[in-house]
Amino acid sequence: VNFKLLGTAAGGGFPQWNCACSLCDLSRKLPELVRPRLQQQALFSSAAAGLFLINASPDIRFQIEANPELHPRSHQGKRNTPIQGIILTSADLDQVLGLLLLREFQPLTVYATNLVRQTLEANTFLRMLERVPNQLSWVEIHPGKPFALAGNITCTPIPLPGSLPYYAGVRGASDQASLGVLLEADGVRLAYTPAVPEVSPALRSIYDSCDAIMVDGTFWSDTELNRTDPATPLARSIGHVPMSGEDGTIALLANVGARQKIFIHINNTNPVLDPRSDEYKFVIDAGWRIGQDGWQLN
């Protein structure tokens, strides 16, 4: 299986449109040093199965144009796409807004839990994807239950504790609200988890079984947002284990079995975005890498 990161920033992207913090400022002034990033997005493909997206970011149009494998094929008629399906890990706007940009009457297949589907269908905007019969096809997926994609790829939704986004207007946790993705093909296993609310024993053992893991790198510390603005929440309270500290992902996953450990979904406040920072060096010394837009894993 071929896996590619098309965006590696948390929601809002990097730089964030209304942010004048030193990191966003650096990414505007010295983009070669502190690289701008599109919002989190990934694709995977195999010759037999075709190409699948994991989520649909608000930057999807730029991500499609920047990656030729996502372009329509001129020999296949005037309107087409190589995208065989889109797997949704949650109903968060950062993960689904791109669906609305993929309308133009293009048939789409979306893999989602029943709860995520219902949450999206409750929004009238989504009707733009349901204007003609067979425009939007849903495939229901279940936390912890593997399903096969054409060819030899097996995909297992990893259950993670979480709740629906604010716009849904419902509180309370559900095992259907937030997922990771475990991909398996030709004996290679890869975990994709852009939002990690806790490193449970079950998640740890999935990571241990993998060749490569892509892990929530939203925040360096629990108080990162809170330090600049006391009104903002702690990282853990909004569902992200930070990288640093005794109970951060770097410490908790220090001896994990996976050969490749990559942080993704980096927030614009995270000091690791500057490769000159002590935090960046710490991450690299600990055997991790900071994912970059355009990175490919085979």
Site residues for Zn ion per CB under 5 A? 19, 21, 24, 268
Q: For residues 72 and 77, what is the distance between their CA atoms, to the nearest angstrom?
A: 9
Q: Closer to Zn ion by CB, 90 or 269: give it.
A: 269
Nearer to Zn ion, 10 or 183 (CB): 10
CB of 232 to Zn ion, least distance (A): 13
For the CB of residue 152, give the shortest distance to Zn ion in the complex, in Å: 42
Beta carbon of residue 14, minimum distance to Zn ion (angstroms, whole number):
7
Residues 6+ apart with CB under 8 A from 2: 44, 45, 46, 296, 297, 298
d(CA 282, CA 7): 23
Q: Which helix (H) or strand (E) holds 6?
A: strand 2-7
Do residues 218 and 210 touch, judged by C-beta distance below 8 A? no
Q: Between 46 and 269, name the residue whose CB sits nearer to Zn ion.
A: 269
From the CB of 27, what's the least distance to Zn ion, in Å? 8
Nearest distance in Å: CB 226, Zn ion? 15
State the minimum distance, in angstroms, from the CB of residue 28 to Zn ion. 10
Q: Which is nearer to Zn ion, 21 or 173 (CB)?
A: 21
Dmax (CA) of the chain: 56
State which residue, 244 or 268, has the beta carbon closest to Zn ion. Answer: 268
SS3 206: helix
Cβ nearer to Zn ion, comparing 257 with 275: 275
DSSP SS3 for 233: coil
CB of 16 to Zn ion, least distance (A): 5
Beta carbon nearer to Zn ion, 6 or 24: 24
Q: Is 66 exposed, middle or buried (0-12, 13-18, 19+ CB in 10 A)?
A: middle
Minimum CB distance to Zn ion, residue 281 (Å): 21
User: Angle CA(292)–CA(6)–CA(128) in degrees, nearest 5?
Assistant: 150
Which runs of consecutive H residues, i.e. helices, occur in the chain?
22-29, 60-66, 93-101, 114-121, 201-208, 224-228, 249-252, 278-285
Residues 6+ apart with CB under 8 A from 68: none
Nearer to Zn ion, 13 or 98 (CB): 13
Nearest-Å Rg of the Cα atoms of the chain is 19
